[in-house]
Every structure is written in structure tokens, then in C-alpha cells.
Amino acid sequence: MVSGACSASAAEAVTTTVAVNGASIGRTFDWVGAISGGGNSRLLIDYPPAQRAQILDYLFKPNYGAAVQLLKLEIGGDANSTDGAEPSHQHVRGEINCDVGYEFWLGKEAVARNPNIKLVALPWAAPGWIGNGNFWTQDMIDYDISWLDCAKGHGLTISYLGGWNERSHDKTLYKNLRSALNARGYASVQIVGDDSGWDTADDMLADPAFNNAVGVVGSHYPCGYLSDATSCASSANAVATGKPLWASEFGSQDYNSGSVPYIRSITRGYLDGQMTGFMNWPLVAALYPNLPYATVALAVAGSPWSGSYQLGKNLWANAQVAQFTQPGWKFLTGSASGYLGGNRANGSYISLKFTNGTDYSTVYETTGTAAAQTVNVSVASRAPQRSSPERSRARRPQSLPRTYGASWQRRGKRPGGDEQIQRAQWCRSHGHERCAGRVGRRRRRAELGVRDGSDGCSHRAVPRGGSLGHPVRLRSISRCCLR
């Protein structure tokens, strides 16, 4: 599904007007994340503690590195799943060992750094005793639930469960799996269908019971496998389900050179296909360098004996989204999201709004052009929100336009002195002496990062994104002056 008319002519220097309208709300942003599956995380657990902690921080710690928000873990099946076999927790029927492998360990490390991270589980393979070789049986349902029991024993909450990696789907198994999850204490676990293509949506629309069983429609490589991700379609039926649409696996590209399709898969995944969740395969290339995909990941960690590791541009591409928006934010429609100058070659951008109605983020990518792209950003309107009497009295004066806060953040500098004085005078006239007294000091605190002062004011100076894009944090002129 391609949204709107958009040219595909050569890139050119253009000026694009981005009107961020808080009332023009689209789908809900779910997550950007990554996948530990296929044996690619194997060597990470063997790293020296200091270097291992550094790598894990860069992957999972919020506002630090990749800040992964969604982590998919493989349910091991004793069979090669790409770069090795991940061990089964139940080699033979009835003999369960919840301490095998490293996926539970990795999940705990992720949650320790980000308690809000969501976990997904998906089998790539299964032991031969399952259904006497038939995967789509009650044996597999029981096998999956016993793995969930193991995860629960490790203190992990699994929020999503898939059927079988890249093997289409069996409608009866999905329906029975839903019933079994409900009956065995996992009613909150949503089923992802089907980690292959969008055709699962066709069956969902034709079969209400199957539709009810599936909580998320997930497709692999919707922008094309090993492609430049210049377009990323879903399908009309996928959108018609009304369910969240995920690129439940994308990537498979080098940790540095893959950064261009990485960021495009996210921005264009929403613009073209209404996708709201994204998981890169794999999370980390912690495997021997003579194996396939040895540099495919967010980071490369294939040398535990030396402690050496490398962070990729892919990691920072993920950060461009994960550090500027959070699950639950709303995509904005209209000119708030689209293609620069209406031309795919110029680049793409997406805007989102936090549920408090005052915080906005826009992420730009200009990965396909060296031509200068100029963006004029304005906040057109906001959806109505409840206000306290104090907030109602402290209205923004008409002489201070909404676009003023956005423009300095896009350029990476503060407003001029006259504007600072004007803002301070207005704050004092409305009884905000504490805020006004800090205006000068805030102006001097222009280094990068979030500024959360003791006065309750919050500001973000946004770095220039270079070739990976230009994230813009749109805020009120002064949040404390509006309280």
C-alpha cells in the first residue's frame, strides 16, 4: 500500500513546509527493536564482564545508544537456525531444562537496563519428537507454553509470541494456540502472524476466528530483502485488519553500510505501509568471524578473548528513532509526515506526538541525496487537552510564535538575546519568576542532551543528523512558562 502521490525524480535542493498538527493523528507507534535468533548472540555471554556490560548498555540502555525497545528471542529447537543451533529447553518430551542457552540471560540483561522493554518469542525450529515431525500440532503449542513457563521462572514477561519463523501459518494451530494461552495464564500474550508475508491478512479477513487469534500482523522484509528500502509496502488487506502492522524482521545488512536502508525501513515503512513496529535481524553479531553474517547487526562482538567490539552505524540509526520517541506516541498525518518536496529521492520524514499533547518529535532521513534540504517547521494546532486554572491563565502571547521553539532546535542553537529578554519579561509578568531567572542560564547550557532543570523546565538540544537523518525535537517555547 503506497500512501499518496509522490514523485520519484532525481533529488534536488528544495524547501519543504512541515505543519505539525497535533489534531491530525494517525496510527500508534509501537517499537523499534532487534532480534536475537539464529545463533548470532552466542559469544556475547563469554565477553569479559566490563566489555560485556558496555555492549549491553549500548544496545539496551535508554537514551544512551540504540535504546532497543523491543527484543525478539528465539525459542531454541536443537537445529541450525542460521549461524548455529540454539539449544532446546526440552530435548525430549517431558524433560524440561530452563537454564539452557543464553536467550533467557540476554532477556534479563535487557530488562535490567530497560524495565519497559517488550519481549517477543519465536521458534525457528523444533525437536524431532514434536508431532512426530509435524510442527503444526498440539505438541508445538505445549512446547511454546513450557518455554513461556521457563521465561516466567526467570522473571521475564513475554508480550508477544510468533508461530514459526518464515514458514507461513496454520490457521487451526493459531486458533488453538490462542485458546491454550488464555487457559494457561497467558491471556495477555499477543500472537504475531505470521512472520512471513502479508498474505496472513487475507486469511484473517476471511476467517473471523483466525482474525481474533492474531494480535499483530507481522511480515518479514517488507522493503525487500537486502534492498535499498526506497519503498516499503504492506497490503490493503493488512491495513484493513485494523491490527498493528510490523516489519517483524528487516535488516540482514552490514553493521555500517546497512544504516541507509535501516532508517528508511522505519520512516518509509510507516509512510508507505502504515507499519508501526520494526525489528532488525540480528541484534548483535557475536559469532565467529568465519561464519556467514559475521558483520550483520547493530554491533559486532566476535572476539570475547580480546574484549574487542565495534559499534555500527546501524546502532545509531536505531537511536535516531528510539531516543526521540517512545511506544504509545501517535504518528501525525498531513504534511507532518511525508517525502521532502514530495520526492522520494530527497528523503523522508515522520512526525509523532506524545500523549501529553505538548511534546513532538520529527525524524528526517536524507540518505539518498547530497542536495541541501531546507525545512520550515510550524506547529499548526494541538488537540484539545484539559488544563488547570494556572495553566489556563499562563497562555502563550501572540507575539511569540510557536515556530520559534522549533527553529532553534532544528538549527542546533538558542534564540537571540532580544527573544530571550522578551520571554523572560513575559514569564515575570505571569508570575513565573523562577523560570524567568533561569532564561540566561538555559541559554548557556547549549551542549547536547536533555535538560531537566530543578525548575521543572525541560529542553532538548538536537544534534545535526548527518547522513543518517535530522531528528527534530519540537517543544513548547518554554514548558515551565506554560505551567
Active-site residues: which are they?
Answer: 166, 249
Q: How far is CA 291 from CA 42, 82, 288, 298, 340, in A?
A: 12, 10, 6, 17, 40
C-beta neighbour count of 149 within 10 angstroms: 15
Which 3 state secondary structure label does DSSP give 437? helix
CA distance 31 to 234: 17
* Phi-psi domain of 262 (left: phi exceeds 0; alpha: psi -120 through 50; beta: other): alpha
CA distance 302 to 221: 26
Q: Cell for 58?
A: 549500548
Q: Starting at the edge strand that comes first in sequence, how are the strands of the sheet with 308-311 ordered?
A: 284-285, 299-303, 308-311
CA distance 263 to 321: 8
CA distance 262 to 318: 8
Output DSSP code: residue 88: P
The strand pairing partners of 348, in sequence order, are 339, 365
CB-based contact 440:420 (threshold 8 Å):
yes
b/e burial code for range 127-142 (CB count within 10 A of at least 16 → b): beebeeeebbbebbbe
Pairing mode of beta strands 245-251, 277-281 = parallel
Pairing mode of beta strands 330-332, 14-21 = unpaired
Give helix then strand counts, H and E, for the chain: 14, 21
Which DSSP string corresponds to 205-256?
Answer: HH-HHHHHH-SEEEEE-TT-TTS--S-----HHHHHT-S-EEEEEEE-SBTT
Output DSSP code: residue 165: T
Sort 248 into a burial class: Cβ within 10 Å, 0-12 / 13-18 / 19+: buried
